[in-house]
Amino acid sequence: MKKILVTRRLLQSNEERLKQLYSVKLNSNDELYSQKKLIEMSDGCEGILSALTDKLDAETINKLPKSVKILSNFAVGFGNIDIEAAKKKNIVVTNTPEVLTDATAEIGILLILGACRRASEGIEGARASNWKWSADYLIGKQLTGTRLGILGMGRIGKKIAKIAKSLGMIIHYHNRSKLSPDKEEGATYHKELKSLFSVSDVLSICCPASKETINLINAETLEHLPKGAVVTNVARGDIVDDEALIDALDRRKVYAVGLDVYKGEPNLNPGYLKHKSAFILPHLGSATKETRTAMANLAIDNLEEFFKTGSSKNKVN
């Protein structure tokens, strides 16, 4: 029976399935393994079911036991893994696409609503029981008729666009390539970032994290937004230069932000805490029972497929 290391705790049904299939090392305390401990724990293992919180950089991958042949990442993203280093060591890397689209898009819409309608301030006032109704109390931005710029029109971006369109938003997008008209569903394509940002009353960041997109939202690109724009991020924290975005909030260039992801999670840049207009969530994108179960099952399917065939349809390297 093959031996598998599971680096983070999964839902019980998924762990029970793993026990039936493999000799499995589970993380019952849900400890965040150091890179050193992860290497030690993987001794004798042929596969690792990793999580986005595991930093599998080149140094770590090069120190993994020779027995490890697959990293089945419990995430749609794989920015935590040095893909090239894994490839050089003949380690297959897989991810869990598609199954988290709906749940993550729902959070994307929540970020837009929460930021535009000043939800953080409203929750604070309600809990403190110190609010008084008036005609101008917590006036926010209405979505109907507002231009939504989607940065990255992949599965999640398209789902957000579909929901936002039903709310009366006008959809614009930037992608590596223009979608076919049937997939655009009336959205306007912008080849250049500057063009997209200039029409984005609300910017929804949905693109993958990569070398090209690190700090893509920075002091220069933020200046292309209309004054008083809203910025939301449901993708990865590395895409945003936090200091630049906080400065834009300070100057009121940006009206509000809605973030489900940010650099240094779980440690939030304290600059955001100065702003009541910052609507921040603790990386809840895929956090439904249905989605987390499906993600883990797909990660297990990837392991099974690899051990049976030597490859996987969800291989990313």
Looking at the structure, do residues 232 and 106 belong to the same domain, yes or no?
Answer: yes
314 in any annotated domain: no
pLDDT of residue 119: 98
| 264 and 134 both lie in a single domain | yes
Domain span at 267: 101-280
Query: Does 245 reside within a domain?
Result: yes
Residue 25: CATH number of its domain? 3.40.50.720
Q: Sorting pLDDT into bands at 50, 70 and 90, what band is 209?
A: confident
Say if residue 14 is in the same domain as residue 128: no
Q: Are residues 93 and 106 in the same domain?
A: no
Decide if 261 contacts 237 (C-beta within 8 A).
yes
Q: Write out pLDDT tens, residues 64-90.
A: 999 999 999 999 989 899 999 999 999
Residue 229 belongs to some domain of the structure: yes
176: pLDDT strictly greater than 90: yes
pLDDT for residue 210: 85
Tell me, what's the pLDDT at 77? 87
pTM as predicted: 0.93
Question: Is residue 118 domain-shared with residue 251, that is, in the same domain?
Answer: yes
Q: How many CB atoms lie within 10 A of CB 189?
A: 16
Query: Considering the domain boundaries, does residue 105 fall inside one?
Result: yes
**In this structure, is residue 316 part of a structural domain?**
no
Which parts of the chain fold into alpha helices (H)?
Answer: 12-21, 35-41, 58-63, 83-88, 101-116, 119-128, 155-166, 181-184, 193-198, 219-222, 242-250, 289-309
Co-location of 30 and 87 in the same domain = yes
Number of domains forming the structure of the chain: 2
Residue 56 lies in a domain: yes
Q: How far are the Cα atoms of 58, 86, 108, 191, 253 from residue 226, in angstroms, in the given order? A: 41, 42, 21, 18, 8
Q: CA dist 11 to 17, 185, 288, 294, Å? A: 10, 37, 11, 10
Same domain for 90 and 141? no
Answer yes or no: do 34 and 71 share one domain: yes
pLDDT in tens, 104-151: 999 999 999 999 999 999 999 999 999 999 999 999 999 999 999 999
Active site (catalytic) residues: 236, 265, 283
Q: Judge if 152 and 63 occupy the same domain.
A: no
State the average pLDDT over residues 153-159.
96
Residue 161 and residue 72 share a domain: no
User: Is residue 317 in a domain?
Assistant: no
